[in-house]
Amino acid sequence: MITKILINILPRKLRRKLRKIYYLPSDIIHGLFGQRKKMIPSKSQIFVGGGDFEEVGNQFLAHFKEFGNITPESRILDVGCGIGRMAVPLTKFLNAKGSYHGFDIVPEGIDWCKKKISADYPNFHFQLVDIFNKDYNPKGKFMASEYKFPYENDYFDFISLTSVFTHMLPADIENYLNEIYRVLKKGKGICLITYFLLNDESKKLMELNKSVLDFKYNFENYRTTNKKIPEAVIAFEEDYIVKLYSRIGFRLIEPIHYGSFCGRNNYLSYQDIIIASK
């Protein structure tokens, strides 16, 4: 219950500071005794999601293989790559003919990825983009609703977004989905995107107070936990998202893989996962 309250009311900047303070002693001890893996950031550095960094990354690599049909020679785009949670396991999967591109709005994450990953894997590319987000990057220069991905048309075999659209407003995700469609290879390209989806089941569980997150503020097509900073955590109406995919031209690869966030007993991951092809 305490964790649920903290997630819903504390600003992200404050939560990150508290995390650094909490984990600093153990990080120092692990560093002194050589217990820290080179390709795993310290716990005080991690600012993405919950769960074990390495375990979650490996779980999603399995999803990428199963649902995304990735091969060692795939061209992969990781939108909102954070501090490399998806990139690290891919370093052991992609060969020299494959490539990984990731971009994010948090400088610390991109800096770490360039130093720890790109230095040893030159086919892994990381880019910092100064996109406005009221929660993550309130001083950002570019609007997500207008940003154009810096990649060619029909370039990527696979595109992933994990815990990205859970922090973006409708106009932002509509633009991003259009950009994803543009840079995804026609015919065989696949995208995997995580969401918090609002449907009859998730809403019922929320009413029963089963959800980890309290999406109590209602807007058109979405709900949020924070009225002043909606991007803190956002859940979208499933019907809205499905219709948006269809309007852009995506083909949904069913079923939707529902998550545990709302208190489900049967789930694939924490967030809901939608897989689609171009």
Write down the pLDDT at residue 2.
Answer: 38
Whole-structure pTM value: 0.87
Write down the pLDDT at residue 259.
Answer: 98
Cα distance between the two ends of the chain: 42
Residue 59 DSSP one-character state:
H
At residue 122's C-alpha, the angle toward residues 112 and 108, to 5°, is 15
Average pLDDT, rounded, for the chain: 89
Write down the pLDDT at residue 135.
Answer: 86
Cα dihedral 205→207→209→212 (10° resolution): 60
Q: Where are the alpha helices (DSSP H) in 10-52?
A: 12-32
Write down the pLDDT at residue 39.
Answer: 81
Among residues 223, 78, 90, the alpha carbon closest in space to that of 163 is found at 78
Go through the domains of the chain in sequence order and give each one's CATH number: 2-277 (3.40.50.150)
Write down the pLDDT at residue 1.
Answer: 39
Tell me how far apart the alpha carbons of residues 104 and 106 are, in angstroms, rounded to a whole number: 6
Considering only CA atoms, give the Rg of the chain: 18
75: Cβ contacts below 8 Å, ≥ 6 apart = 98, 99, 101, 155, 156, 157, 158, 185
- CB atoms under 10 Å from CB of 249, counted, come to 12
Residue numbers of the chain with a pLDDT score lower than 50: 1-9
- Identity of the amino acid at 17: K
Host H or E run for residue 160: strand 158-161
Residue 140: both structure tokens together:
């950002």
